[in-house]
Homo-oligomer: A and B are copies of this chain.
Amino acid sequence: MSSGPGAKLKDVAALAGVSVGTVSNVLNRPEQVSVDKKSRVLAAIDQLGFVRNESARSLRSGSTRSLGMLVLDVRNPFFTDVALGAENVAEDHKHSLILANSAEDTGRELAYLDLFEQQRVQGVLITPFGQVLERLETMRARGIPSVLVDRLARTDQFCSVSVDDVAGGATALTHLLSVGSVRPAFVGGPFTLQQVEDRYRGAADAAEAAGVSLQLFETPDLKFERGRQIGDLIGNLQPDKRPDAVFAANDQLALGLLQSFAANGLRVPEDIAIVGFDDIDFASQSSIPLSSISQPRHLIGERAAQLLFDEIDDENGHVHSQVVFTPELVARQSTRRHTPAITQHG
């Protein structure tokens, strides 16, 4: 198990007194090797500290045991959770997952796709940022299939795993109404983001169905700071013109609103209720625990990886499918119904 650097298959074979083919068989088809030779080989491997050279293995065998995964932001726990789900499945298939970060940068996105191709990964999980579908098609033509994650494939050329943002938006707004809101508002943007668009549409439709109008605060991004800014704006409105509940397009914005309201002396949920989207860890860890719409992150990663292996293993018979999960409400204190009889202190 110790010894000098660079022992190779040949050395192991020599020490064990067998052929290189046999050593390779011990590694790859142990059931075809007699017990005594197998143990001699294993002993030799141990003694020499032999580590198989993966480059050589995959060059000859034509298959790397790895998948590539390209996400928009590794710092975002949503994506790391999805990645962990995918990694679980990859592990079951004895593959490893190479995680890369496009950081919402077209150049980086293409560079990593190049890298994945050079590494000859068996398949790619990707949340696309730029216009890469065509590129992904040519990659598939060259034998590297891909699955879209957190994006609905509009064509039937791809498998995809996503979440029904329209339904999520509807759920959020219905919840606000159910806890007594009569002047709800939506905070989020830009509407060029499909997910923002969908979440808003779901909420707007639900409001209309209930005969309530939905106020709109459009933002250029979904960041915390922006939430604080909009929160200050809302806090300065006359109490009778101020929304009594807010649906924020994601939790970052919602946390920004929450901080601003706390600073401006607005009570949550008594003066104004808040529901976010994503249910990141910190939603539940906020001083006033934040209600949110939760996506099955781990499951998204798992399903995506399963679909990918499905295509890898059955190149021809595979039919693409679109998996759409319905997100669920997690109600917490930020939308607790305010019962006037019992004034809450906490």
Compute how far the CA of A224 lies from the CA of B285 in the bound complex, rounded to whole angstroms.
7
Segment with Cβ contacts to B, from A111-119, A188-196, A208-216, A242-250 = A111-119
With contacts A59-B55, A75-B80 taken as known, whether A49 is within 8 angstroms of B138 at the C-beta atoms is yes
Compute how far the CA of A58 lies from the CA of B120 in the bound complex, rounded to whole angstroms.
13
Nearest chain B CB to A4 CB, angstrom units: 7
Which of B84, B285, B287 is A101 in contact with, Cβ under 8 Å? B84
Q: Is A294 an interface residue (CB 8 A)?
A: no
Cβ–Cβ < 8 Å partners of A224 in chain B = 281, 285
Chain B residue at minimal CB-CB distance from A5: B142
Chain B residue at minimal CB-CB distance from A118: B54
Taken residue by residue from 92 to 106, chain A's Cβ proximity to chain B (1 for < 8 Å, 0 otherwise) reads as 000010110100000
Q: Are A74 and B83 in contact (CB under 8 A)?
A: yes
Q: Is A339 an interface residue (CB 8 A)?
A: no
Q: Are A4 and B141 in contact (CB under 8 A)?
A: yes
Nearest chain B CB to A213 CB, angstrom units: 29
Segment with Cβ contacts to B, from A39-47, A162-170, A260-268 = A260-268
Q: Are A51 and B346 in contact (CB under 8 A)?
A: no
Q: Are A262 and B288 in contact (CB under 8 A)?
A: yes
Cβ–Cβ < 8 Å partners of A55 in chain B = 54-56, 58-59, 64, 119-120
Q: Are A120 and B2 in contact (CB under 8 A)?
A: no
Q: Are B282 and A53 in contact (CB under 8 A)?
A: no
Q: Is A289 an interface residue (CB 8 A)?
A: yes
Cβ–Cβ < 8 Å partners of A281 in chain B = 224
Q: Is A328 an interface residue (CB 8 A)?
A: no
Segment with Cβ contacts to B, from A17-25, A28-36, A251-259, A301-309 = A251-259
Chain B residue at minimal CB-CB distance from A141: B5
Compute how far the CA of A287 lies from the CA of B83 in the bound complex, rounded to whole angstroms.
30
Compute how far the CA of A255 lies from the CA of B289 in the bound complex, rounded to whole angstroms.
11
Compute how far the CA of A119 lies from the CA of B310 in the bound complex, rounded to whole angstroms.
26
Chain B residue at minimal CB-CB distance from A119: B54
Q: Are B64 and A346 in contact (CB under 8 A)?
A: no
Chain B residue at minimal CB-CB distance from A290: B287
Chain B residue at minimal CB-CB distance from A98: B98
Compute how far the CA of A4 lies from the CA of B143 in the bound complex, rounded to whole angstroms.
10
Provide 28 A-B residue pairs closer than 8 Å at the C-beta atoms, listed in order of the A residue.
A2-B141, A4-B141, A4-B142, A5-B142, A5-B143, A6-B142, A51-B117, A53-B59, A53-B118, A54-B119, A55-B55, A55-B59, A55-B119, A56-B59, A74-B74, A96-B115, A224-B281, A252-B285, A255-B282, A259-B289, A262-B287, A262-B346, A263-B346, A264-B346, A282-B285, A286-B286, A286-B287, A287-B287
Using a CB–CB cutoff of 8 Å, the interface residues on chain A facing chain B are 2, 4-6, 49, 51-56, 58-59, 64, 74-75, 77, 80-81, 83-84, 87, 96, 98-99, 101, 114-115, 117-120, 138, 141-143, 224, 252, 255-256, 258-259, 262-265, 281-282, 285-289, 345-346
- Besides A84-B101, A258-B287, 9 more A-B contacts (Cβ < 8 Å) are A2-B138, A5-B141, A6-B142, A6-B143, A52-B118, A53-B118, A54-B119, A255-B282, A262-B288
Give 3 closest A-B pairs by Cβ, nearest first.
A5-B142, A287-B287, A262-B287
